[in-house]
């Protein structure tokens, strides 16, 4: 009952309560973001939602305009403390997770939940039917602003481990699980632990796609 009804009801209530704070953050941060690096205030990226439905996820823009999209060796998004793509205000927003506040609009619109697996990129997405069982399981629920991975591990585990954790969350989803994740997230944000993940040799998504295509051609030969 909680998973299919009350979770969504709580999301709507919480997002409505948060809306004034989101609007206040926009009023304060919008001019700072624009003056720091002339460009859009928001970063809108396509993400994978519940049952494979693609939506636009909102964030305050923390990177410089036209920055390349870098990924780690395991395909996860590169996120380093000394990332030259991040603006000064962006670095502060990331450390405090303020850049995530616009996602309360996604919750209100029904794209996301307060708590759930992190919304994945759609770079290699080829349709719901082509996903394996584990990836199908993780999108049985709406993606969250925070989740089991973000609360307990943040960026300290690999993409494969994150998938295992996401499946565990979906299979054990209860009201009390969400309560524990919520309060653990608060502690994680306050302690600022595991904010960054820095693996050797980050590459651009374009380079990664070229490598994938090359591997496919080699297999054909």
Answer yes or no: is pLDDT of 35 > 60.
Answer: yes
- pTM confidence score: 0.81
- Cβ pair 87, 75 in contact under 8 A: no
How far apart (Å, rounded) are the C-alpha atoms in residues 108 and 50? Answer: 15
- Cβ pair 150, 114 in contact under 8 A: no
Cα–Cα distance list, 187 to 81, 166, 190, 208 (Å): 20, 20, 5, 35
**Beta-strand runs (E) in the chain:** 42-48, 54-60, 70-71, 113-115, 120-121, 144-146, 203-204
Domains: count for the chain: 1
Angle subtended by helix axes 7-36 and 88-96, to nearest 10: 160
Cα–Cα distance list, 4 to 11, 108, 139, 163, 173 (Å): 12, 16, 14, 22, 11
pLDDT at 216: 37
Provide the residue range defining the domain that includes 115. Answer: 2-220
- Cβ pair 114, 10 in contact under 8 A: yes
Categorize the per-residue pLDDT at 153 as very low, low, confident or very high, splitting at 50, 70 and 90.
confident
In tens, the pLDDT along 73-99 reads 666 666 666 788 899 999 999 888 899
- Cβ pair 88, 36 in contact under 8 A: yes
Categorize the per-residue pLDDT at 72 as very low, low, confident or very high, splitting at 50, 70 and 90.
low
């Amino acid at each position: 009952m909680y998973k299919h009804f009350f979770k969504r009801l709580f999301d709507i209530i919480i997002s409505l309560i948060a809306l004034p704070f989101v609007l206040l953050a926009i009023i304060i941060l919008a001019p700072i973001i624009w003056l720091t690096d002339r460009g859009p205030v928001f970063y809108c990226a396509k993400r994978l939602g519940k049952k494979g439905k693609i939506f636009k996820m909102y964030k305050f823009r923390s990177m410089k305009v036209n920055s390349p999209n870098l990924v780690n060796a395991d395909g996860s998004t590169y996120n380093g403390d000394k990332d030259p793509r991040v603006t000064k205000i962006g670095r502060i927003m990331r450390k405090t997770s303020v850049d995530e506040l616009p996602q309360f609009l996604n919750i209100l619109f029904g794209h996301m939940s307060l708590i759930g697996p992190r919304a994945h990129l759609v770079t290699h997405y080829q349709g719901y039917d082509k996903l394996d069982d584990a990836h199908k399981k993780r999108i049985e629920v709406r993606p969250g602003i925070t989740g089991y991975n973000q609360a307990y591990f943040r960026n300290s585990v690999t993409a494969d481990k994150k998938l295992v954790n996401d499946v565990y969350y979906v299979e054990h989803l209860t009201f009390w699980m969400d309560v524990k994740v919520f309060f653990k997230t608060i502690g994680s944000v306050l302690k600022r632990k595991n904010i960054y993940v820095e693996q050797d040799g980050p590459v651009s998504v374009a380079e990664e796609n070229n490598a994938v295509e090359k591997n496919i051609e080699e297999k054909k030969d």
